[in-house]
Amino acid sequence: MMIVYSGKAKIGEKMIPWQTTFSTDVRFACQSIGYCCTSSNVRLNFDDIERISKEKRDFIEFDTKGPLLKGTTEGRCPFLSNANRCRIYKDRPFVCKSYPFYLSYVEGIVYIDVLQTCCAIYTNNKKNDIDFGQLVCEYFRAFNNAIPSEDDIRVDHKRWDALIDRVDMHQSLLGMYEEFNPGDKPSFPLFVTKFFSYFREFINAEKEYIAIELPTRRLYPIFATKDAVVVDNKVVAIASLREIDLSREAKEELKRYLKTIWRRVGTRLDLKQVPRGSDVFAIQVDAGKRFVLLIQFLALVIATKKQEKEISYSTIRETIFTLDASLFTPLDEIAQSRKKNFFREG
């Protein structure tokens, strides 16, 4: 049984319970690498705006979802110094204070999830520097006690575990695709061409993603062009891709990550059987299949760039660092939409 962080936070006159979706093996201590400050769209709440406006001007921009810290949609935060230090640290937005954790208030409990895009959670820290109870208090203050609507999504452990087990059955991307699409056996070049179109659509070809080289922790860009993926300023033409098998370590890491995704979706929802033909079950399974293929596709591209003979553990990890925030959907958003494709709309 997984042991998690848990407790209660005093919010007004109430004691609100909270718990993490991850185990106490995760101990966070910031490494000051600055990855999160170069790869995130920093959303602002009214409390953030009030604090920052006391010292700064012209720091807000807007999209369809509301206000953001200006410049963060294009890459490196303008308030990040060359020494990777925040120039507005004491007034930094709540999402910066809480990163890589994401808090959701669902059915009377605050759930704390963690993004897989932070080196600190993979470092063997002796202690955890985050006071989760204090973080919960700041969450309520920042978002004015917003309570999402109740949810009736049902999820199915056994079906998802079966999907994860498929990773063991195939060494390559094409083999996995054929497993998910019986009867469709395209040639590898045709398959890659077809899947590249989906990949470009998913990641938004106009956006530059930031990856991190392991174990050096050097940041590098990834983006798609019309017929290639540019990885660390090297063009990897889609026509040049060849099948590369997953190493044993890479396969185990992919399975571990898929189980992490399961915990995101399954924790605090009603875990009961879903009829085989239900819309919710179909959405989960279809999204899961695309998810597996998407990660393996980018891993194949990065491995090609590195000239690997098999896809390595570090390549899978770099892929997860690159895509996790885009594939991540906040738990409270999941709870508000029964039929939402919660793997793609992060």
Q: Do 130 and 188 lie in a common domain? A: no
Query: Phi and psi (nearest 5°) for 170?
Result: -135, 140
Give pLDDT, residue 156. 52
Query: Phi and psi (nearest 5°) for 250?
Result: -65, -40
Q: Do 100 and 39 lie in a common domain? A: yes
Bridge partners, 86 (sequence order) = 80
Q: Which position has the higher pLDDT, 137 or 119?
A: 137
- 11 Cβ contact list (under 8 Å, min separation 6): 136, 137, 140, 145
Question: Residue 334 above 50 pLDDT?
Answer: no
Q: H helices of 100-156, where?
A: 132-143
Q: Do 209 and 248 lie in a common domain? A: yes
Q: Assess if residue 259 is contained within a domain.
A: yes
Distance CA(310)–CA(246), nearest Å, equals 6
The closest alpha carbon to 191, from 327, 283, 296, belongs to: 296
Buried/exposed code over 72-94 (b: 16+ C-beta within 10 A; e: otherwise): beebebebbeeeeebebeebbbb
Of 42-51, 175-184, 258-267, 304-313, highest mean pLDDT:
304-313
Segments forming the whole domain that contains residue 215:
157-334
Q: Do 206 and 288 lie in a common domain? A: yes
Question: Residue 142 above 90 pLDDT?
Answer: no
Q: Assess if residue 173 is contained within a domain.
A: yes
Q: Do 207 and 78 lie in a common domain? A: no
Q: Assess if residue 151 is contained within a domain.
A: no
Give pLDDT, residue 1. 75
Q: Assess if residue 149 is contained within a domain.
A: no
pLDDT per position as a tens digit, 35-76: 888 877 888 887 788 788 877 877 888 776 778 888 887 778
Number of domains in the chain: 2
What average pLDDT score do residues 17-35 get?
Answer: 88
**Which of 100, 118, 143 is the C-terminal boundary of a domain?**
143
Token digits for 203? 């990641």
Q: What is the pTM of this model?
A: 0.60
Distance CA(227)–CA(235), nearest Å, equals 10
Are 311 and 299 in contact by the 8 Å Cβ rule? The answer is: yes
Q: Assess if residue 66 is contained within a domain.
A: yes
How many C-beta atoms surround the C-beta of residue 43 within 10 A? 16
Q: Do 123 and 165 lie in a common domain? A: no
Q: Assess if residue 63 is contained within a domain.
A: yes
Q: Do 139 and 205 lie in a common domain? A: no
